Structure formats: C-alpha cells, structure tokens
Amino acid sequence: MTQIDLDVLGRPIDATEQELLRIYGDLKSLSERTDLAPCALMNVRQAMVMLWNACCDLDLVFEEPEHD
C-alpha cells in the first residue's frame, strides 16, 4: 500500500496513524486472497474489520472494504 500522509479531511497524519493504515492495508490485501487456509483467511478478515474500525474512527479511511 502506498504511504498516505493525509486523512480524509486532508489533515496530516502521525506515525501511529500511518502504522495503523499500513496494517489495515496489509490485512485488506490478505482478505482478498483465495489461497489462504480457512483458519488464516477468516481470522485475517476478522482482524481486518477491527482495523477498519480504528482507521475509520480516526478519519484515516472511509470505505467499504467489501472482502469482509
């Protein structure tokens, strides 16, 4: 995932928010994969929506992740 420096309102985001966004992006990519074992994929999706919550609460994203 390319680094994003601004939140949805165009405000700068700090290092912790960057980290949250990166993890969310990684989990979202994993959630779309079809080659993972069910135990991996379903837990990744569960984790992904939790990170979506954190990122959405902090105005870092506003989107439907779809592969949940």
Partner 1 sequence: MADWSRYWNPKNETMSRDELQALQLFKLQKHVERAWHKSPFHRRLYETAGVTPDQIQSLDDIRRLPFMTREDWMACQAEQPLFGDLITRPREEAIRYHLTSGTSGRQPLRVLDSRKDWSWIAEMWCYGFWGIGVRPTDTVFFAFSYGSFIGFWGAHYCCEKIGSLVIPSGNMTTEQRVKQIAEMKPTVVCATPTYALRMGQCAEQMGIDLKKECNVRRVVISGEPASDPVKRLIENMWGGKACDTAGMTEIGTIMIFEADNQPGGTHIIEDNFIEEVLDPETNEPVPYGEKGERVVTSFGRGFIPLIRYRTKDLVCKVPHTTSDCGRTWDLYEGGILGRVDDMKLIRGTNVYPRAVEAIVREYPEVEEFQIILTREDNIRDEITVKVELAPDKEATWNDLHPKLGKDLADNHEGLRFNVAKADQGELPRFELKAKRLQDLRDQ
Binding site for partner 1 (CB under 8 A): 8-9, 45-46, 49-50, 52-53, 56-59, 62-65, 68
Q: Identity (one letter) of the amino acid at 34?
A: T
Pairwise CA distance, residues 30 & 9, whole Å? 27
End-to-end CA distance of the chain: 18
For the bound state, the minimum distance from the C-beta of residue 58 to partner 1, rounded and expressed in Å, comes to: 6
Q: How far is CA 68 from CA 3, 25, 44, in A?
A: 23, 13, 9
For the bound state, the minimum distance from the C-beta of residue 11 to partner 1, rounded and expressed in Å, comes to: 8
Whose Cβ is closer to partner 1: residue 22's or residue 54's? 54
For the bound state, the minimum distance from the C-beta of residue 52 to partner 1, rounded and expressed in Å, comes to: 6
